[in-house]
Structure 1
Amino acid sequence: MSKRAVLEVIALGAEDAAAAQAGGADRLELVTDMAADGLTPAVSTVAAIRSAVDISLRVMLRLSDGFGAGDVSRVVRAARELRDAGAEEFVLGFLDADGTVDLSAVERVVEVLDGCRWTFHRAIDHAADRNALRKQLDGLPGLDTYLTAGSAAGVDDGLPTLLAEAARRGEPGYEQRLLVGGGLRLEHVPRLLAAGVDGFHIGGAARPQGWDRPVSAPAVARWRKALDGD
């Protein structure tokens, strides 16, 4: 591959961010409250992380556990506050009760992002129909990435789906980067790279001592080395 694969690491604060950058991360996903699988961080936290590192930051727009949008006006308000504070990239994704994409909620938030690049997160792994979701979102401004394990159960189960979607890259609804995360392990990397996957997302794998300890720069460096084929 002519361009190296993107390594995105979850960061909860400035200490995480600095360690992830030192280990070779290209980008950070900024969240709070991993007990709820990652919610929108405070503006002050985003500002502190922005001051600590110079790599790309994608900020989560998710105010409660689950994949429903909840009060969309609150999400829109959070997005506007983060934009006003200088955030330039985001992560979001909403489903309705029957597992289809909540297009009106997504569109309302994306409108406030005003062309900023964003990732549709692992809500896709809980969708009733992944292909239909991609087709419905196709053409939305700024959407350049899907964060997915290929399955709600994780990469072990989702690998066949990931490989099939990688093979469709460039088709309508499949132009976006596949950012693989969710139970991702180093042994998955060679097969995914060989299939042309060029985005990898880690959270717990960057924290060998658990979520109550900060990101480990050496752990991130092991992933950087694997992605670079060293």
Structure 2
Amino acid sequence: MSRPIFEVIATSPADAAAAAAGGADRLELVTDMHADGLTLPVEDFCRIREAVAVPLRVMLRLRDGFAPGDLDGLRDRAARLRSEGAEEFVLGFLTPAGEVDLPAVRAVLDAVPGCRWTFHRALDHAADREAARAAVAALPGLDTLLTAGSPDGVAAGLDVLAAEAGTAGRQQLLVGGGLRTGHVPALRAAGLDAFHVGGAVRTAGWDSPVDTGLVRAWRDLVDAPVPAPV
């Protein structure tokens, strides 16, 4: 059995290098976490790409929330990132009614054909969670669903996450959104094997850098053997 996936949010080359040194398998690249993570400038992506060798997933969102906003501008940024070597992305849009905005999602995917991507926590804010999962399930390149199980974070979504373990089909459930160390043992025991953190590996919130020691501690935690059921 392969070890769990551990993904860390990075906003700079220094973050990326610290996360990679601590054992992160993959990085989600964003800027402006005070707006819940937006698309970073192409130049920043290039600097991070040069700093590390781990896989990079680039957030595609130009405004806070789950509406696509300037779709043409987002498609242009996505295409420029792709031309500079970005191969993996993170995105997800909802309509005002809380349904997956499939035309917007497909329009952005058309700008990065053939790439793997994560449907992010728009899933947790959808009006109908099961309908949202069904709507995106067959979209090309989708291999990951980032979810806390609840719009209020992992602590509120533990039961949903445990119930959904092993139900994602060809997509992997990546647990993130207020994930804490105390949540991990039960989630691992439930069969979940992919975890995503950002603020939890920083000593003083989003204005402080990623701490390699904290990343390593998380790496060891998610890799710890799962006790056999009694």
Task: Report if TM-score (shorter chain) is over 0.5.
Answer: yes
Q: Distance in 2 between matches of 1:69 and 1:203?
A: 23
Amino acid at match of 2:6: L
Structure 2 residue aligned with 1:226: 221
- Distance in structure 2 (CA, Å) of the matches to 1:87 and 1:72: 19
Secondary structure in 2 aligned to 1:7? strand
Across the aligned residues of Structure 1 and Structure 2, the Cα RMSD in angstroms comes to 0.9
Aligned residue identity for 1:72: L
> Which residue in the other structure is 1:214 paired with?
209
Deviation of 1:167 (Å): 4.0
Q: Which runs of 5+ in 1 are unaligned?
A: none
Contact 2:166 2:192 in 1 (8 A): no
* 2:202 partner amino acid: R
Letter in 1 for 2:124: D
- 1:7-64 deviations in whole A, cap 9, x for unaligned? 1000000000000001110000000001100000011111111111000000000000
> What is the aligned partner in structure 2 of residue 168 from structure 1?
167
| Distance across 2 between alignment mates of 1:44 and 1:135 | 36
**Structure 1 residues 133-142 or 90-99, which shifts more?**
133-142
Kindly indicate whether the alpha-carbon contact (under 8 Å) linking 1:167 and 1:195 is maintained by their aligned counterparts in 2.
Answer: no
1:50 aligned residue: 49
Look up the equivalent residue of 1:74 and give its one-letter code. G
Equivalent residue of 1:210, what SS?
strand
- C-alpha displacement of 1:113: 1.4
Question: What is the CA distance between 1:213 and its match in structure 2?
Answer: 1.3
- Helix, strand or coil at the partner of 1:18: helix
- Equivalent runs, 1:26-105 vs 2, <5 Å: 26-105=25-104
- Asked if structure 2 preserves the Cα contact closer than 8 Å seen for 1:5 and 1:198, the reply is yes
Counterpart residue type for residue 197 of structure 1: L
* TM-score, normalised by the number of residues in structure 2: 0.96
Which structure 1 residue ranges, 4+ long, deviate > 6 Å from structure 2? none
- 8 Å CA contact 2:154–2:177 kept in 1: the answer is yes
1:71 shift after superposition:
2.0
Once the two structures are superposed, what CA deviation does each residue of 1:201-224 show, in whole Å capped at 9, x if it has no partner? Answer: 000001022211110000000100
- For 1:60 and 1:167, the matched residues in 2 are separated by 25
1:155 paired to 2:154: yes
* 1:55-102 deviation line (CA, Å, top 9, x unaligned): 000000000011001121111111101001110000000001010000
- Checking the alignment, whether the CA contact within 8 Å between 1:10 and 1:29 is kept in structure 2 is yes
| Amino acid aligned to 2:178 | G
- Alignment match of 1:199 (pick from 181, 194, 202): 194
How far the C-alpha of 1:168 sits from its partner, in A, is: 2.0
Identity percentage over the alignment? 60
Q: Secondary structure at the match of 2:145?
A: strand
* One-letter code aligned to 2:47: A
Q: Work out the CA distance in 1 between the residues paired with 2:218 and 2:142.
A: 26
1:177 positional shift: 0.5
Count of residue pairs the alignment pairs up: 225
Alpha-carbon distance in structure 2 between the residues aligned to 1:8 and 1:169: 18
Q: Is the 8 A contact 1:148 1:182 kept in 2?
A: yes
